[in-house]
Amino acid sequence: MGGGTSAAAQALRQAEGGAVLGLTVEHRTDPLGVDAVRPCFGWRMRSAGRGQSQGAYQILVASSPDKLTGARADVWNSGRVSSSDSVAVRYTGKALRPSTRYHWSVTVWDAEGRPVGTGSPASFETGLMSTDGVAGWDGAQWIGMKGKTPNSAGAPMLRTEAALKNRSRVREARLYVSALGVYNAYINGHHVTVPQDGGSTIELLSPGWTNYDVRVNYMAYDVTDLVTRERAVTLAAVLGNGWYNSRASDGSTYYSSHGNALALKAKLLIRYADGSSQTVVTEPDGGWKATDTGPYRADDIYDGQTYDARMELSGWTASGFDVSTWSDVTRVALEDTYPDVQLLAYPGETARFMPRWDRRPQAIVVATGVTGQDGSPNGRGRIVVDPSRTVADPGKAASASVAIGTGETAVFDLGQNMVGVARYSLRGPAGAKVEFRFGEMLNDDSAGADGPEGSLYRANLRSAKATSTYILKGDRHGETHQDSLTFYGFRYVSVTATESVTITGLTGKVATSAIRETGTITTNAPDVNQLASNIRWGQRGNYLWVPTDCPQRDERLGWTGDTQVFATTALYNADAGVFLSHFQDTVVDSALIYGAGKAQFTGVAPGGRYNFPGGGSGWADAGVIVPWTVWQMTGDATIVEDNWPAMTRYLDWIQDQTGDTYAGQGSLTGDWLGLQKTSAQLMSDVYYGYVARLMAQMARATGRTAEGEAYERLFGRIKQAFITKYLSTEGGTVTVKSSLGDASPIEPGSDPNQKTEDNSQTALLWVLKLGFYETQAQRRALVGHLADNIGNDAAYKAAHPNSSRVRYAENTLSVGFLGVNVLAPVLTDEGRADLAYQLLHQDAMPSWLFSVKNGATTVWERWNSYAEDVGFGPVGMNSFNHYAYGAIMEWMYAYMAGIARDPDSPGFKRFLLQPHIDPTGGITQVSGSYESPYGVIKSEWKLEDGGRELVYDVDVPANSEAVLRLPAASADVVREGRRPLARAEGVRFIDHSDGEYVCQLTSGRYRITTKLR
């Protein structure tokens, strides 16, 4: 059932389709629940030849597939439109009706006016198309269990049963549902599912997390199959606390320490073949009943879930169940407390379980006790392993059964740090309590360990209990369970029991909102490939309804700084444009609730936890950077238009704070977790300049010429103020005075005696990125300072004895969160790809591969989160699944593989192909692909003939073009087959200078060779 066509089904349709394919509405395939009044359409062209581009299109929208002709289209006929646009083409037809399926197709002509083809008919279906929670809901209200004390034991279970009122065949059925809290929805005994990978799957923690006092999302599902051939319909739901009643929401305006009443709002719409319809809605007098006596005894985002199988109510979600002892329901008055709250359709793909990413155990260890405390370095000893029940072979561990008794512990290693829940089967006596504890690491013998060597390390979870508790009912055939009202971040599962039990089939069930992956990077360097895998897994885990910082400890918040740093990488890796656009809506809501002056974007969204007052640079700026990034990567300017008022309020607010000093608002976070300290005020000043420059670009692109010029002037004044304050030329050398001011005053685990330094890596990077210098001689000097800092050789250390750099190896980075995504791109742009590659290959601390060398399967929060020789990093803030430092993957796509966007042509309509060869020789082969809005871009290179020849394969999608930059000894050594590339079809030679060949490629597939020396 549910919200759209799966990626597998879409791929099948594309494989079977013709020259026009990939039809989307609001960036989704065959979506349900579209609430946009004027939705945007998109499609792609496919051509085996070169130079294929679109010259015109015609969109038809009709009430049925048979009306998709120019003469019969009864909803919209765009007519033949002369345009090459095929991304975010806005609907301008008749007003769309709620809960209505529309069919559409598009016909395309090429640039010469020849017919290209017509796309296979697609569809979209509107949602309720209202925002007040009243219109279209047919009287549905928020209801909860009457007499239920918030936070009391037992999750509310609600149900109603209604006879189908028409003997005619059910034509279709739709469920619209939301919750204050989270829900599991059931119809006629079946869990409501969504389509995925050619089958179906269940969601986790719908309807996600928003500022509940401003907006709540509802979901739309196709449940026709669950209602057809039934005489009655039973609609049921379990409600969980989710984020609504979690301490994740502490400090939020909607939060109550005593708990809020959980509530359900739903409308089941049934349409019959004879044209009649019937609705079942949530209302106090609608036959709804509720209980909290079921098996769901406790649930919490941080602490986990308790399920008592002895209390299961068999058949309660199906028709005919006896509810005579159940309680009534009551209206939950959300609108009375928050009269302006909006109820909106969720615009993207929901967070769900992805069976293809399930993880099975790679090893199982059974511990019977602890030994060696007296002789161990940390005094905690090591676990006593029972070899007869320990399984080290991954093939056997994946399916092994393990029996444990009281006082024993089984530790399952899933081989991958992941996010979701564990599914498991148990056999044992009724009443036996089994606890599954989750963690990312195992203890070693270091001082930072929190238990004996080999046991589960959990100190970094802080107050999160992260425990799944299951109480057996004693079924001799076994019983199977997976939590549904919480989630965990884990690689390891530690299991204990109050009585002897047998555990079988334990599986890590991966849940994510990043369900459709669009980019790949592989090389001939295994460690670099592992890093790419770690980054991808970090995104899967932390893109769960909102982009979180980490998924395991008592935080899991939508930190905006982390989000903006990683956004480009995220959009290369996955189809995340709608996900990030929805998050941006939440960011704007949060600014109005928690932001200074109702204008400053906040450090966290949604909710008020950790939304501390004071300088927010680098984090608050996400409110500008995320819209710019989504627009750049998707080509859809809707996010810019929708957020323009909020973005201008934010820039105006900064100007009100700092006036004609043209300084930034200040920053409490600075270059977070940077090992070389940079003035937090300097970071604020460069980010002020950065967002001013982005605003100028967005203004020009959306026709706001005067505003664009004003933001250009603002950028110029910020630049001059920065140069005056921070750029020193004393002694005849240029210096960035990044020591002017303290670093973050709130960074946990930092050395209070460490001082900020001049010419810090992050400061130099941003000065070069923004051009905050006056002459090219200064620029060259700044690049030299950066190279010296990174090189960090004996001479540099001798010249900077008080620098933090003296503690680290040569050719290492020292940036934090606000330097990590600009480091390699700036180096490469400044002609130092050699340094970028040296940093990529480095595995000494601090480096990206340091974590890989130490066994990481996701990216860590700190460069030194763990080391085999010294143990665990600062426990107060030490996540082993944090994606911020994974922003290096943006460079891997754009520079290593060479698939880069052209800032003047958002959405890869025109893009750059700029593969950079590894000067260190560590990587000799790279394969990159990215599914752009126009189709799949492939960029693959390998070195042959002892590194003297480059073989380059590239695909440029139809209706797009690329500017190619390749290293070449001369223009005539760049060839396709036996002829110079400049004479090949689809190629326009531009230039060859300084060892670089530049040309323009029209769409098509090319194999190019070039001599490097």
Q: State the chain's maximal CA–CA distance in angstroms.
A: 92
- Cα separation of 932 and 218, whole Å? 29
Which pLDDT value is given to residue 14?
A: 40
Q: Which residue has the tokens 């790679």?
A: 362
Q: Is the pLDDT of residue 16 over 70?
A: no
Q: Is the pLDDT of residue 741 over 90?
A: yes
- Cα separation of 3 and 329, whole Å? 29
Residue 638's SS3 state is helix
Return the bridge partners of 441, or none: 457
Return the bridge partners of 1009, or none: 951, 975
Report the mean per-residue pLDDT for the chain. Answer: 96
* pLDDT tens readout for residues 353-383: 999 999 999 999 999 999 999 989 999 999 9
Structure tokens at 381: 């000893």
Which pLDDT value is given to residue 485?
A: 98
Q: Which residue has the tokens 């950065």?
A: 690
- Cα separation of 496 and 719, whole Å? 60
Q: Is the pLDDT of residue 785 over 90?
A: yes
- Cα separation of 491 and 508, whole Å? 8
The answer to whether the CB of 1012 falls within 8 A of the CB of 996 is no
pLDDT-based confidence at residue 167 (cuts at 50, 70, 90): confident
> Which has the minimum average pLDDT: 13-22, 209-218, 300-309, 969-978?
13-22
**Which has the closest alpha carbon to 506: 686, 684, 313, 361?**
361
* DSSP E strand boundaries for 698-797: 727-728, 735-736
What letter does residue 892 receive in the DSSP assignment?
I
Which pLDDT value is given to residue 870?
A: 92
Mean pLDDT (whole number) for 154-182: 95
* DSSP E strand boundaries for 805-934: 866-867, 871-872, 899-901, 910-913, 925-932
* pLDDT tens readout for residues 399-443: 999 999 999 999 999 999 999 999 999 999 999 999 999 999 999
- Cα separation of 14 and 11, whole Å? 5
Element (H, E) at 726: helix 705-726
Environment class of 87 (CB within 10 Å of its CB; exposed 0-12, middle 13-18, buried 19+):
buried
- Cα separation of 353 and 340, whole Å? 33
Provide the b/e sequence for 315-343 (b: ≥16 CB within 10 Å): ebbbbebebeebbebbbbebbeebeebeb
pLDDT-based confidence at residue 751 (cuts at 50, 70, 90): confident
- Cα separation of 971 and 986, whole Å? 17
- Cα separation of 771 and 763, whole Å? 12
Mean pLDDT (whole number) for 151-161: 97
* pLDDT tens readout for residues 713-734: 999 999 999 999 999 999 899 9
Q: Is the pLDDT of residue 999 over 70?
A: yes
Q: Which residue has the tokens 């090949």?
A: 984
- Cα separation of 222 and 5, whole Å? 11
CB atoms within 10 A of CB 58: 17
| CA atoms in the 13 A half-sphere facing the CB of 211 | 30
Q: Is the pLDDT of residue 793 over 70?
A: yes
- Cα separation of 819 and 822, whole Å? 6
Q: Is the pLDDT of residue 964 over 80?
A: yes
- Cα separation of 100 and 124, whole Å? 8
The answer to whether the CB of 971 falls within 8 A of the CB of 946 is no
Task: Look at 47 and 422; give whichever has higher pLDDT.
Answer: 422
Q: Is the pLDDT of residue 5 over 80?
A: no
- Cα separation of 614 and 744, whole Å? 12
Q: Write phi, then psi, for 306 (nearest 5 degrees).
A: -120, 125
Count of residues in the chain: 1013
Structure tokens at 899: 């698939």
pLDDT-based confidence at residue 499 (cuts at 50, 70, 90): very high
**Which residues does 7 contact at the CB level (< 8 Å), separation at least 6?**
196, 197, 515, 516
Return the bridge partners of 182, or none: 240
Which pLDDT value is given to residue 589?
A: 98
Which pLDDT value is given to residue 1?
A: 44
pLDDT-based confidence at residue 4 (cuts at 50, 70, 90): very low
Which pLDDT value is given to residue 750?
A: 84
Which pLDDT value is given to residue 880?
A: 97
- Cα separation of 117 and 122, whole Å? 15
pTM check: above 0.95:
yes
Which pLDDT value is given to residue 7?
A: 41
pLDDT-based confidence at residue 582 (cuts at 50, 70, 90): very high
Which pLDDT value is given to residue 664?
A: 98
